[in-house]
Amino acid sequence: MSKMRYSRRSILKSGAAAVAASTLPAPMIWAQEIKDITLRQFGTGVSNLNEVGQKVKEDLGFTLEMTALDSDSVTQRAATQPDSFDIADIEYWICKKVWPTGNLQAMDTSKIKNYDKIVGIFKSGKLTPESVIAQGTAPHSVGFVEGPGSTTFAKEETGWMTLIPTIYNADTLGIRPDLIGRPIESWTELLNPEFKGKASILDISSIGIMDMAMVCEAMGEIQYADKGNMTKEEIDKTFAIFTEAKKNGQFRAFWKTFDESVNLMASGEVVIQSMWSPAITAVKSRGIPCVYQPLKEGYRSWGGGIGLSKSLTGMELDAAYEYINWYLSGWVGGFLMRQGYYSAVPETSKEFMTADEWGYWFEGKPAGGDITNPFGDVLAKAGDTRDGGSFYERMGHVACWNAVMDENQYMVRKWNEFIAA
Amino acid sequence: MAMSRHVSGWLQAAPLTVVLGGFLIAPIIMIVVVSFWGATEYSIYPAFQFDNYSYLFGSAVVWKVFLATFKYALITWAFTLAIGFTVAYFLAFHVRSQAMQTALFLLCTIPFWTSNIIRMISWIPFLGRNGIANSALISWGVVDQPVEWLLYSDFSVILAFVHLYTLFMVVPIFNTMMRIDRSLIEAAVDNGASAFQTLRHVILPLTKPGIMIGTIFVVTLVMGDFITVRFMSGSQKANVGRLISNDIALLQYPSAAATSVVLLITVLMVIGILLRFVNIRKEL
């Protein structure tokens, strides 16, 4: 705590304020020293983009080294090697696993400039005051701790945040409307015998189990108390239903990587499957119709954020706060939103998007002209609307969040058996 | 003098001992040790417990997976042997000129100039529902509907295995066949043996060491594989290698180590049994 009262700190604070006022990229006082700083960030591929690293160098002056790993390796590294990183870019369910190890430090929200503008999902848990909080590891439930050094999560906003939210989205099933030829409205369709040998789910246990739960619940076979934290009986029942479907030949294949999901869909091997938003885009960009189908039971949502390593102190820590403030100031948000993800502070991102892009991606309005992603690929043409509609329609219909269960190890074993069955 | 001979002997053996000790023996000991450890979701801790093994032997799924592994090995072995033997026989006895033999032999190795994975994955668009094989079958009128079992099935897994590993059968068999003394074949023919009798009673017994070496290659490769099964079955089938790779992906290292130990012992037993039939040292 005493560190927080360093006088240099207050200079920096006013420096940061000066930046805000003058929109200079970095405070001039430490502009020279900051060039030597390197922050090591690691995380899953989604937001670990080289463009972000380059822009940090341009805008803030310091170097951001990025390492992309799969979510299992990310979890392991965050939990076991706190000195190997400065910034962890992790999902909220990973935070639930990793935070108790004490390898991350809580962040003082009073130093986060745009804190007030962060979407409600990450603070009170409610998108709008009327929203119902979804099941699973909802971000706000692992988003705060009582104070620095605390290893248990707080129930409400405390001023000490575990992760600063960066990127999130609502996932659903992807379908090939041309090969199905009729409306799809429910998760139950994944196990509809009509699509025998033409369905797929992803072979990543922590996410796949949630998709399974959405299906079983929609079928009315199982009523879960909390899909994000199943009992052993619920796990057994869920796998029984899916193992039977597998034995009956419902699934064409399971996929583990992004590319596999794209190929399965594009080649017509599969017409309905769990999918990620950018994979839909990749299929579409080959000129093949593919829809990220909104379903009446709602979405399975996920969110990621950046956390700071416990060993981050002094100037590096200041640089990290600088980075976080920059992250929320709009450029990254715009960059991510133009790929179909959402930013934690949408209103700052708006300045970095055209009115047409904002209308298409956020407001669910028909596109006025070609909508391109930051890499120049055309994702939608004039008149197209986004699958699922506006931000509030999509994020307002989240049924559950990606989660880690108390019975995780049991579930993982069952998952292995399901794959081998 | 005797002393220094002793010392120089040890010194000469030392480099190999160090390499084998450091890169073969030590890792295996490590795997055995870790197989008794425990694991939490994100870490492993030293212990001496039999949990991993009791789960392995107690789970019906694991037994099924071991059975599937043997099934893949056996079927792949039968096909690679039949094809490998035929190809080697053709090269060794039908092709007369040495230059031609060498040229044809090199031709067999051409697919090995690209990566294993690429050769495997290139089957996927070929066998797919809308792939070349199905389009051809439909346009020939052989079938009306695309044949589904061509891809993501045991068929595609074994097809890929046979494609990938037949050369491992061809090479040793060809090698032993080339060493067969041609006068033995002449003697058999002179004594009135038919072509089949010569093959059955002269060539086959003399080729056994080559067959055995090829068998060991194919069986160990298939039993240890996981990537072919994963890609060609669309993750729908499992063999022991996939169990291990799944465990590693989920950070369950002790469980993966235990499975590895059981697999290692199984493979060693298979090889031990094979070696009882043929003395391959005679060949080397």
What is the domain-level CATH number for residue B264? 1.10.3720.10
pLDDT score for A87: 93
B44: enclosing H helix or E strand: strand B44-45
Closest residue to B250, CB basis, from A205, A268, A269:
A205
B202 CA: distance to closest CA in chain A (Å)? 45
Residue of A nearest to B250 (CA): A72
Q: Is residue B202 included in any domain, yes or no?
A: yes
Q: Is residue B175 included in any domain, yes or no?
A: yes
Closest residue to B41, CB basis, from A97, A246, A253:
A97
pLDDT score for A73: 79
Quick one: three-class SS letters along chain A? CHHHHCHHHHHHHHHHHHHHHHCCCCCCCCHHHHCCCEEEEEECCCCCCHHHHHHHHHHHCCEEEEEECCHHHHHHHHHHCHHHCCEEEEEHHHHHHHHHHCCEECEEHHHCCCHHHCCHHHCCCCCCCCCCCCEECCHHHHCEECCCCCCCECCCCCCEECCEEEEEEEECEEECHHHHCCCCCCHHHHHCHHHCCCEEEECCHHHHHHHHHHHHHHHCCCCCCCCCCCCHHHHHHHHHHHHHHHHCCCEEEEECCHHHHHHHHHCCCCCEEECCHHHHHHHHCCCCCCEEECCCCCEEEEEEEEEEECCCCHHHHHHHHHHHHHHHCCHHHHHHHCCCCEECCHHHHHHHCCHHHHHHHCCCCCCCCCEECCCCCEEECCCCCCCCCCHHHHHCCEEEECCCCCCHHHHHHHHHHHHHC
**pLDDT tens column, A74-120:** 888 888 888 899 999 999 988 988 898 889 999 999 999 999 999 99
B contacts of A80 (beta carbons < 8 Å): 42-43
Q: Is residue B208 included in any domain, yes or no?
A: yes
Are A72 and B249 in contact (CB < 8 Å)? Answer: yes
pLDDT score for A416: 83
Hey, of B129, B250, B253, which one would you mutate to test binding to chain A, going by the most A CBs within 10 A of its CB?
A: B250
Are B148 and A197 in contact (CB < 8 Å)? Answer: yes
Query: Rounded to a whole number, what is the distance in angstroms from the first to the last CA of chain B?
Result: 33
B215 CA: distance to closest CA in chain A (Å)? 26
B94: enclosing H helix or E strand: none
- Alpha carbon A165 to chain centroid distance? 9
Q: In which residue are the tokens 């479907």 written?
A: A245
Are B252 and A269 in contact (CB < 8 Å)? Answer: no
pLDDT score for A1: 36
Residues near A325 by beta carbon (within 8 Å), at least 6 away in sequence: A16, A111, A112, A113, A114
CATH class belonging to A173-297+390-420: alpha beta
What SS3 state is found at B245? helix
Are A421 and B246 in contact (CB < 8 Å)? Answer: no
Q: How far apart, in whole angstroms, are the C-alpha atoms of residue A56 and residue A324?
A: 11
Q: How far apart, in whole angstroms, are the C-alpha atoms of residue A161 and residue A153?
A: 10
Q: Residue B61 burial (CB < 10 Å; 0-12/13-18/19+)?
A: middle
Ranges for all domains in chain A classified under CATH 3.40.190.10:
2-170+301-352, 173-297+390-420
| Amino acid identity for residue A34 in this structure | I
- Given pLDDT bands bounded at 50, 70 and 90, which one contains residue A419? confident
Is pLDDT at A125 greater than 90 in this prediction?
Answer: no
A contacts of B120 (beta carbons < 8 Å): none
Q: Is residue B236 included in any domain, yes or no?
A: yes
Q: Residue B211 burial (CB < 10 Å; 0-12/13-18/19+)?
A: buried
Are B64 and A420 in contact (CB < 8 Å)? Answer: yes
**pLDDT tens column, A309-327:** 999 988 889 999 999 999 9
Q: Is residue B102 included in any domain, yes or no?
A: yes
Q: How far apart, in whole angstroms, are the C-alpha atoms of residue A73 and residue A92?
A: 15
B163 CA: distance to closest CA in chain A (Å)? 22
Q: Which residues of chain B are at the A interface, by a Cβ-Cβ cutoff of 8 Å?
A: 41-43, 55, 59, 61-62, 64-65, 124-125, 128-131, 148, 151-152, 230, 233-236, 238, 242-243, 246-247, 249-252
pLDDT score for B272: 92
B contacts of A254 (beta carbons < 8 Å): 234-236
CB burial of A5-19 (b: ≥16 within 10 Å; e: otherwise) equals eeeeeeebeebbeeb
Are A408 and B247 in contact (CB < 8 Å)? Answer: no
Q: Is residue B48 included in any domain, yes or no?
A: no
Are A417 and B59 in contact (CB < 8 Å)? Answer: yes
**pLDDT tens column, B78-96:** 999 999 999 999 999 988 8
Q: How far apart, in whole angstroms, are the C-alpha atoms of residue A315 and residue A337?
A: 31
Q: How many domains does chain B have?
A: 1
Q: Is residue B275 included in any domain, yes or no?
A: yes
**A10 contacts A16 by C-beta, under 8 angstroms:** no
B258 CA: distance to closest CA in chain A (Å)? 15
What would be the CATH architecture of the domain defined by A2-170+301-352?
A: 3-Layer(aba) Sandwich (3.40)
pLDDT score for B32: 95
Q: B18: which DSSP letter?
A: H
pLDDT score for A48: 74
Q: Is residue B17 included in any domain, yes or no?
A: no
Q: Residue B150's closest CA among B93, B38, B231, B233?
A: B233
Is pLDDT at A254 greater than 90 in this prediction?
Answer: yes
pLDDT score for A276: 87
Q: Residue B92's closest CA among B173, B9, B22, B2?
A: B173
Residues near A375 by beta carbon (within 8 Å), at least 6 away in sequence: none
A contacts of B250 (beta carbons < 8 Å): 72, 205, 412, 416
ipTM of this predicted structure: 0.80
Task: Give pLDDT tens digits along chain B (284 positions).
Answer: 556 778 888 899 999 999 999 999 999 999 999 999 988 766 788 989 998 899 889 888 889 999 999 999 999 999 999 999 999 999 999 888 889 999 999 988 888 888 888 889 899 999 998 889 999 999 999 888 889 899 999 999 999 999 999 999 999 999 999 989 999 999 999 999 998 999 999 999 999 999 999 999 999 999 999 999 999 999 888 899 998 988 887 778 898 999 999 999 999 999 999 888 887 776 55
What SS3 state is found at B45? strand
**pLDDT tens column, A331-342:** 999 999 998 899
A243 CA: distance to closest CA in chain B (Å)? 11
What is the share, in percent, of chain A residues with pLDDT greater than 90? 54
Hey, of B40, B41, B43, which one would you mutate to test binding to chain A, going by the most A CBs within 10 A of its CB?
A: B41
Hey, of B42, B51, B55, B244, which one would you mutate to test binding to chain A, going by the most A CBs within 10 A of its CB?
A: B42
Q: Alpha helix (H) ranges present in B110-194?
A: 116-121, 123-127, 132-139, 154-179, 182-190
Residues near A122 by beta carbon (within 8 Å), at least 6 away in sequence: A139, A140, A143, A165, A303, A305, A344
Hey, of B67, B132, B152, B253, which one would you mutate to test binding to chain A, going by the most A CBs within 10 A of its CB?
A: B152
Are B125 and A79 in contact (CB < 8 Å)? Answer: no
Q: Residue A149's closest CA among A95, A85, A106?
A: A106
Is pLDDT at A130 greater than 90 in this prediction?
Answer: no
- Given pLDDT bands bounded at 50, 70 and 90, which one contains residue A45? low
A contacts of B52 (beta carbons < 8 Å): none
pLDDT score for B249: 77
pLDDT score for A156: 87
Average pLDDT, whole number, for chain A?
87
Q: Alpha helix (H) ranges present in B21-59?
A: 26-34, 51-58
Could you tell me the residue range of the domain that residue B128 belongs to?
Answer: 60-282
